[in-house]
């Protein structure tokens, strides 16, 4: 049934609503929306990544939602792109050369963010059966795992951008998002440490749960 699978598309709205309450404190502005999109992207992409390891540790609890990870991840990528476009328009006026005049630390922050989005774009582009057939399932999954490096770059970007006068300053909800992203990466290392190979097929990642059980 597509109805259950479509519920994954409500998760981005829930994430944004929670950020509006607990991060923005009901205050709306374009800069605040931009920060919410950035944090929402980290939450959604992180949750998409976490579903795989969580399914291996707790298959009966999280296995049902494994097929949602593609939709959630693509929403996260859309949020990240929106964040980048708003930043380019509002803060930089589409003047890419002006960015070269920034302090080296901020330049590095922008570079990590740009590379992260580029890697997420690759993941989004190959998240279909055509690329599975072209690369083979195992190689396809290996390419997608570059997303953990992209998430690490996003963490670095977030940390460097929020440094003010040498001090990392962020609201409590921002801290939670940062710690969540770090936890997702550690969860991946936990899977590697435990030696738990993935056994799901491509369909397990993109097919609604009910349809997987059909003959």
DSSP state of 65: G
Q: How confident is the model at residue 209 (pLDDT cuts 50, 70, 90)?
A: very low
Torsion of CA 93, 97, 101, 107, to 10 degrees: 90
Percent of the chain residues past pLDDT 70, beyond the cut: 87
Q: Please compute, for residue 135, the number of CA atoms within 13 A of its CA located in the half-sphere on the CB side.
A: 16
Say what the pLDDT of residue 105 is: 81
> How many angstroms separate the CA atoms of 182 and 177, rounded?
9
Q: Angle at which helices 146-161 and 137-144 pack, to 10 degrees?
A: 10
pLDDT in tens, 52-83: 888 888 888 888 888 888 999 999 999 999 99
Most confident of 8-12, 133-137, 150-154: 150-154
What is the pTM (predicted TM-score) of this model? Answer: 0.86
Give 37-50 pLDDT, tens digit per residue. 999 999 999 999 99
Burial class from Cβ neighbours inside 10 Å (0-12, 13-18, 19+) for residue 111 reads: middle
DSSP label of 97: G
Q: Which two tokens stand for residue 183?
A: 């936890």
Tell whether the model's pLDDT for residue 211 goes beyond 50: no
The stretch 177-192 carries a mean pLDDT of 93
pLDDT at 201: 47
Residue 198 is predicted with a pLDDT of 56
């Amino acid at each position: 049934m597509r109805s259950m699978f479509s519920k994954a598309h409500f998760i981005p709205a829930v994430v944004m609503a929670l950020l509006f309450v607990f991060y923005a404190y009901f205050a709306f502005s374009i800069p605040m929306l931009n920060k919410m999109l950035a944090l929402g992207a980290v939450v959604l992409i992180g949750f998409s990544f976490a579903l795989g390891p969580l399914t291996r540790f707790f298959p009966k609890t999280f296995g049902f939602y494994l097929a949602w990870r593609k939709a959630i991840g693509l929403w996260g990528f859309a949020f990240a792109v929106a964040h980048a476009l708003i930043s380019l328009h509002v803060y930089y006026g589409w003047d890419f050369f002006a960015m070269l005049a920034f302090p080296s630390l901020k330049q590095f922050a922008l570079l990590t963010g740009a590379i992260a989005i580029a890697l997420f774009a690759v993941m989004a582009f190959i998240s279909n059966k055509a690329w599975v057939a072209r690369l083979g399932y195992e190689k396809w999954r290996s390419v997608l795992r570059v997303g953990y490096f992209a998430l690490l770059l996003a963490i670095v970007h977030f940390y460097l951008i929020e440094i003010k006068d040498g001090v990392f300053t962020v609201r409590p909800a921002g801290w939670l998002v940062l710690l969540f992203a770090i936890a997702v990466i550690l969860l991946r290392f936990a899977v590697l440490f435990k030696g738990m190979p993935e056994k799901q097929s491509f369909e397990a990642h993109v097919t609604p749960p009910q349809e997987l059980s059909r003959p």
